[in-house]
Every structure is written in structure tokens, then in C-alpha cells.
Amino acid sequence: EDQVTQSPEALRLQEGESSSLNCSYTVSGLRGLFWYRQDPGKGPEFLFTLYSAGEEKEKERLKATLTKKESFLHITAPKPEDSATYLCAVQAWAAGNKLTFGGGTRVLVKP
Amino acid sequence: DAGITQSPRYKITETGRQVTLMCHQTWSHSYMFWYRQDLGHGLRLIYYSAAADITDKGEVPDGYVVSRSKTENFPLTLESATRSQTSVYFCASSEGRARETQYFGPGTRLLVL
């Protein structure tokens, strides 16, 4: 069974204080690892897809990395508008197009 | 460009009533998905569809029914609503090729009294 665990559950940061979110996964044949951002009352918004260990993707203050067992979402010099819940999901080759999600990390950036 | 829409956005119903949540996408994506999101459980897949007239169960299908007569629509029906089905429901779609990203709708908040 595919499993995704995200840590920490919640993170409080001061504006400009860089940090990292962790996504640990077990999957029988990784097809892709996805990061989403979710604002309160809204649907998840796609951020990145990573396909193989060593791959990195960047978007503004966010950088996602992937190893064979985990992925990190690094937030560099965050701003209050980066406050959101960040979701990680895996897609296994055996599961077709289905995603298995982690519980998410709630990030609050204070000015 | 409407993308993916859900209706209603909010719904209050009573136990035992039938409720249908609608999902519509304008991208002509092959795959469509229904998830529920609950505190402590994250997003869980209810049903999905690979194409019109092709549907399959996800992780938590009990108490739900889906149909897909047209590519762009994927309604989710709660045949006899229960309090445990109080949740936020999200519809998503993906193009269907290998490694394709799922794009989510805005969600429907359902309260079953």
C-alpha cells in the first residue's frame, strides 16, 4: 500500500525565515511526486511534479527536491502570502493515474 | 477559461436524503476524480473515471455512486446521506497521459444533519 507522511503538521515562520517541509513516501514504483498548495476554502493548486531522485524544481521562493525515500519543499525568505497548507502526493506506476496524498503541512508566515 | 467547476459550493441536507454534487470541466480531460477531505485523513479518493462510461472505485467508495455519460461531467451522488459523509468534496481532472497532473475544482462543503 502506498503511503505518504508529511512533517511537521504545522509550521510558524517569521517573514524571511527560511525552512523546509518534509514528505516521506513508500510506493511500489514511483511514477511521480506532486506538490500542491491549498488556501483556506479553496481547492489544491498544483505547484510541482518530480519524477526521479535528484530532480529539483523551483518557483519563486519555493524549491522542491526528491530522493528515493522523501521530498523536501524549501521555502526561502517566505512572505505572509506564502501562508497555506502544502500537500504532497505520490503516483505509483501500479496505480495508474491515482494519487495518494499526505496529511499536509500548514504554514503560517508572520510579518 | 472556466477550467473545472463544482456545484453547489455549499449544501446542507438531512440524513437519508439523496444528494448530487456536480463537476464540470472545460478542458476535455479524459480522467476525472472525486475526493473527500476531512481533518485527520487528508484527501481520499472516492471514485474516478478514465473516460465516458468508465468508472472505478477509489479508497472510500461506500455510500457513493458516480456516472459519466459525457466527458465533461462527473456527478457524485450520495444515495442516502449519513452524518459521516459531512465533508469537503473536491473534483479533479487530468489529461490522462502518463504522469499527468490533476487539477482541482474549488470544492463543495456538505453538511449532513
pLDDT of amino acid A28: 87
Partner residue facing A97 (CB), from B31, B41, B90: B31
Compare CB distances from A99 to B50, B102, B106 and report the shortest one's residue: B102
Check CB contact under 8 Å for B102 and A34: yes
Q: What is the mean pLDDT of residues B52-75?
A: 95
Q: How many CB pairs under 8 A join A and B?
A: 53
**Per-residue pLDDT reduced to its tens digit, A13-59:** 999 999 999 999 999 899 999 999 999 999 999 999 999 999 999 99
* Confidence check: pLDDT of B97 > 80: no
Q: How confident is the model at residue A97 (pLDDT cuts 50, 70, 90)?
A: confident
Q: How far apart are CA A55 and CA A50, in angstroms?
A: 6
According to DSSP, the β-strands at B76-78 and B64-66 are antiparallel
